[in-house]
Structure 1
Amino acid sequence: MASDIEIARAAKMKPIQEIGDRLNIPDESLLPYGRTKAKISAEFIEGLVGRENGKLILVTAINPTPAGEGKTTTTVGLGDGLNKIGKNAMICLREPSLGPCFGMKGGAAGGGYAQVVPMEDINLHFTGDFHAITSAHNLLSALIENHIYWGNELGIDQRRVVWRRVLDMNDRALRSIVCSLGGVANGFPREGGFDITVASEIMAILCLATDLEDLQTRLGDIIVAYRRDRSPIRARDLEADGAMTVLLKEALQPNLVQTLENNPAFIHGGPFANIAHGCNSVVATQSALKLADYVVTEAGFGADLGAEKFFDIKCRKAGLSPDAVVIVATIKALKMNGGIAKEDLGTENVDAVAKGCANLGRHIENVKQFGVPAVVAINHFTADTEAEVQAVKDYCADLGVDAILATHWANGSAGTEELAVRVAELAESGAAQFAPLYEDGLSLFEKIETVAKRIYRADEVLADKSVRDQLKRWEADGFGDLPVCMAKTQYSFSTDPQLRGAPTGHSLPVREVRLSAGAGFIVAICGEIMTMPGLPRVPSANHIRLDDNGQIEGLF
């Protein structure tokens, strides 16, 4: 079979105006970026208010492994499958970050015959949203330094500047820096650091804001530093919120593209789920729900991270109520969770599959806690055997959940018809009784404990007195009703990335907590998770180049 990039290049894409016609979006409300991608105007989105919502379907997965799970591929395949069985469906995805594309994870536009296109554009600069976010973020950084340089009228304690810079690239050398060296003209030296752009609070704000007014309010609420008396200084105190909003004006508008089968897709926003809340924008999801009868969206990494944050942060903040959940698993990934090494995954091993199903079972149990019905999609690989697939189906049947084999990577929508039928049945059944995991009124530490014990199955949360005291200070300052965003390794229910399966008896160490006052959540940084990733020994960037015909090689 052809490679992902070869399949994408052979796609017969329709002009983006035709995709807009499918959604009854007039040409004047499309802001084209070439022939095959466009933004949707804010005026058109405002006019959707009052329309009835379609059904919302979340695609999540087991914990990721080097063997791959194919969550985005399944999201695209399911969207195509729903359209194939006669439903009016569209897809909502996150935008890929440049960091993983040039690191080791690769892109995020699906794969095989279940892709969104133009794939190369989507995985690289796309419509410039991430550049706008990076610029707005670092403009705020520059304004902080400039204010201190010109007399520090607000009384910023330079030891308590909490606003870090960002870059959309994996660069471990920038995690901790000293800035303003070089003499009086360059300001006052102090320690600082960089995060990756997808971890920026501005990324989270863009994905949670409902319109430009809400965006500017949230940007103004960002706490950038503290005075010596520990009173906060916000972005609006620096008069930064207006200019930042100007930089983000177009970035707030959702991006419309298409699948290989010419079905509509919004791709907008891209926070990582291991260090942020891991969902596409509220604007895109809410708009899609007004334009289609079924909306298929994804949340990053495994259900312990992405789905939990989708439910407890995005749905809570946006008033969304999901109707069904699809949990993606592969035979290979289940074998790895069952203790099999990557080089041995091609050999049939039903016992390892059965053992690895404990990880899948934990995610099924967790999703049920939110009151949303679920189905398992077995993302098919050619080496999977009938006995291994049957083992997963039998395991899920014992838990009262259907497991359906999906062959969308090889067969496109034809490979997801059975899955699409079952998902539509669940969504229309009225069985969903959605509720977040915890109430707003719990203390911040109790919210962290709730996620740790009910989702991760940790015995306890370990946190220094300084962390607990910080949480109490934020509660006293009026932030106690915020949800928590857990920054944790994606590879395990624990904070040990090597501890696969469904571990119990572990502790959750909370190393640091950060207040994202504009986004509206508290970030709990657990274990050794990094908000600025590093590159692997042999990064993907080493193999990416232009060929003699000017086409990109090595991206996939």
Structure 2
Amino acid sequence: MSDVKSDIEIARAANKQPIQDIGRKLDIPQDHLLPYGHDKAKIAAEFIKSLADREDGNLILVTAVNPTPAGEGKTTTTVGLGDGLNAIGKKAMICIREASLGPNFGMKGGAAGGGYAQIVPMEDMNLHFTGDFHAIGAAHNLLSAMIDNHIYWGNELEIDQRRITWRRVVDMNDRALRQITTSLGGVSNGFPAEAGFDITVASEVMAILCLANDAADLQKRLGDMIVAYRRDKTPVTCRDIAADGAMAVLLKDALQPNLVQTLENNPAFVHGGPFANIAHGCNSLIATRAALKLADYVVTEAGFGADLGAEKFLDIKCRKGGLKPKAVVLVATVRALKMNGGVAKDDLGTENVEAVKAGCANLGRHIENLKKFGIPVVVSINHFIKDTEAELQAVLDYAKETGAEDALIARHWADGSKGITNVAEAVVRVCESGKADYKPLYPDEMSLFEKIETIAKEIYRADGVTADDGIRRQLEEWEAAGHGNLPVCMAKTQYSFSTDPNRRGAPTGFTIPVREVRISAGAGFIVVICGEVMTMPGLPRKPAAETIRLNEKGQVEGLF
């Protein structure tokens, strides 16, 4: 393409339809659409409840090889595939996460796809959208205030102030808030204490909103959250603080999925955004289930590469939500595979078939891993203009030899739906083949440490897991307290199968060190931290915020 437009230029030129027309494509009555302007709306809870007896459509997960600075295009492929399925005559929907403000003003950018495979309104989606994240932040911080207030007025629950585990949140990158001191200034301000902030997407409230079945389940899960411990180490819950009811009130609108559209006017739910590391990194269960009742094909994605995102989607979200995916689309790029094959980022523009073949070991391991869940895999190679025919052919040949149902080149970034109809047709064939037989990697009744070992050995291909006696005792105590049936949520680097981000490709001969374990009793999983995990990012030396402004027409400039 000679004149390549930016994502925001393409999005701004979109011929959007009124959101009522998008709702009509899904047979959603107008009085069940709660509009936020002309181009986005929430879906009423009573309408979602009325869908319960309908049959489910086909669920398709989009995941990717381990991410590299070269980029893989997972969200772009998710959006493009949804458009492609509609283009071949299927009734299809897309489900993705909402974007956090922090990365938008930092360096990562937005989360609405790219090129001619985008969801719009792009600026709104990447800014305040419908206010869901603000509601989550308000509910989370209300609980923080009520914990401090309880202690100030006598501490009837005998909370050990040194063992308050509930931190505050803000939806912004701000390293200065990682570790702070509160309640300075005298007796009337309470008892000075060490505290800190996480980014809103890391809140357990976010994870709960994305796994809750309905408003009643939401409040129950909020109440189950462990926020502190007494001196005798017994837990104090949100329900003990009596904050669960008020928090549920603040979240009642945020619980309803957001309906928007693609550039090609196809329907999409954009709802929720849990951290893809210490949480499960998927859009809300409510949105996914509703989409499966409204469409014949639903395309969704999971954060990071398949070793983290897909594993959590399949072992946590599908297990808890009763979902049974029919196909997995595994996204790869020649550029990313070259990096996994040892090529430096500055050298990616030069043909190097041998490096591509070496990097394909990463792709192959992901294919093998995904098949362990009983789901057939289609490899979609996200095309870049400098890819050569020899490099592309090397990936196609390798993917098919390694057990993929099909492998195809997708050009949706440049050509929209017509550039990915080949992948859409392959996905339909796989869904209709009846080959899918989803099963989680491990059973509920397996011990927590065995679950950790199973993921480490089966997915990461580690030799084993190391953990000190204190961590093992903590897991045993949670089992004794009735939490042994929970799945585990692994938190490690997304850049490698190992815990060393520099070990690309398909490394072997390593162990997984467990540094810490945490319980998310409301969300319903155990977080297993391997290495350093940053729950409050900082801004880069030159944050994107420096170039974001309004132009003379009142339009946003510099967001992309």
User: What TM-score does the superposition give when structure 1 sets the normalisation length?
Assistant: 0.99
Partner of 1:283: 286
Shift of 1:527: 0.5
Partner of 1:549: 553
Partner of 2:212: 209
Aligned length: 556
- How far apart in 2 are the matches of 1:436 and 1:225? 32
- How far apart in 1 are the matches of 2:174 and 2:463? 35
Q: Residue 525 of structure 2 is aligned with which of 521, 525, 535?
A: 521
1:312-371 per-residue CA deviation (whole Å, 9 max, x = no partner) reads 000000100000000000111111111111111111111111111111111111101100
Amino acid at match of 2:194: E
**For 1:55-454, what aligned pairs fall within 5 Å after superposition?**
55-401=58-404, 402-454=406-458
1:273-297 per-residue CA deviation (whole Å, 9 max, x = no partner) reads 1231010000000000000000000
- How far apart in 2 are the matches of 1:274 and 1:132? 22
Partner of 1:43: 46
- How far apart in 1 are the matches of 2:183 and 2:359? 51
Amino acid at match of 1:359: N
- How far apart in 1 are the matches of 2:395 and 2:291? 33
Shift of 1:272: 2.3
Q: Residue 28 of structure 1 is aligned with which of 31, 36, 39?
A: 31
Give % identity.
75
Contact 1:495 1:528 in 2 (8 A): no
Deviates more, 1:167-176 or 1:435-444: 167-176
- How far apart in 1 are the matches of 2:192 and 2:372? 49
Aligned pair 1:531/2:535, yes or no? Answer: yes
Contact 1:57 1:322 in 2 (8 A): yes
- How far apart in 1 are the matches of 2:273 and 2:142? 20
Amino acid at match of 1:459: D
**What SS does the aligned partner of 1:160 have?**
strand
- How far apart in 1 are the matches of 2:38 and 2:61? 30
Partner of 2:21: 18
Amino acid at match of 1:296: V
Amino acid at match of 2:350: T
Partner of 1:460: 464
Shift of 1:549: 2.3
1:44-88 per-residue CA deviation (whole Å, 9 max, x = no partner) reads 001001100000000000111111000000000000000000000
Shift of 1:207: 0.2
- How far apart in 1 are the matches of 2:315 and 2:426? 25
1:450-469 per-residue CA deviation (whole Å, 9 max, x = no partner) reads 11111111112122222111
- How far apart in 2 are the matches of 1:488 and 1:166? 22
Shift of 1:212: 0.3
- How far apart in 1 are the matches of 2:10 and 2:411? 16
Partner of 1:489: 493
Can you give the 5+ residue segments of structure 1 that lack an aligned partner in the other structure? none
**What SS does the aligned partner of 1:39 have?**
strand
Contact 2:200 2:206 in 1 (8 A): yes
**What SS does the aligned partner of 1:158 have?**
strand
**What SS does the aligned partner of 1:159 have?**
strand
Contact 1:60 1:306 in 2 (8 A): yes
Shift of 1:552: 1.4
1:144-189 per-residue CA deviation (whole Å, 9 max, x = no partner) reads 0000000001111111111111111122222222222222111112
Shift of 1:535: 2.0
Partner of 1:476: 480
Shift of 1:504: 1.1
Q: Residue 8 of structure 2 is aligned with which of 5, 10, 14?
A: 5
Contact 2:367 2:403 in 1 (8 A): no
- How far apart in 2 are the matches of 1:110 and 1:361? 25
Amino acid at match of 1:340: V
- How far apart in 1 are the matches of 2:557 and 2:519? 41
- How far apart in 1 are the matches of 2:197 and 2:440? 32
- How far apart in 2 are the matches of 1:180 and 1:466? 32
Shift of 1:508: 1.2
- How far apart in 1 are the matches of 2:265 and 2:552? 30
**What SS does the aligned partner of 1:501 have?**
coil
Shift of 1:542: 2.0
Amino acid at match of 1:358: A
Aligned-residue CA RMSD (Å): 0.9
Can you give the 5+ residue segments of structure 2 that lack an aligned partner in the other structure? none
Shift of 1:427: 1.0
Contact 2:226 2:236 in 1 (8 A): yes
User: What TM-score does the superposition give when structure 2 sets the normalisation length?
Assistant: 0.98
- How far apart in 1 are the matches of 2:88 and 2:420? 10
- How far apart in 2 are the matches of 1:82 and 1:460? 42
- How far apart in 2 are the matches of 1:498 and 1:548? 45
Shift of 1:537: 2.2
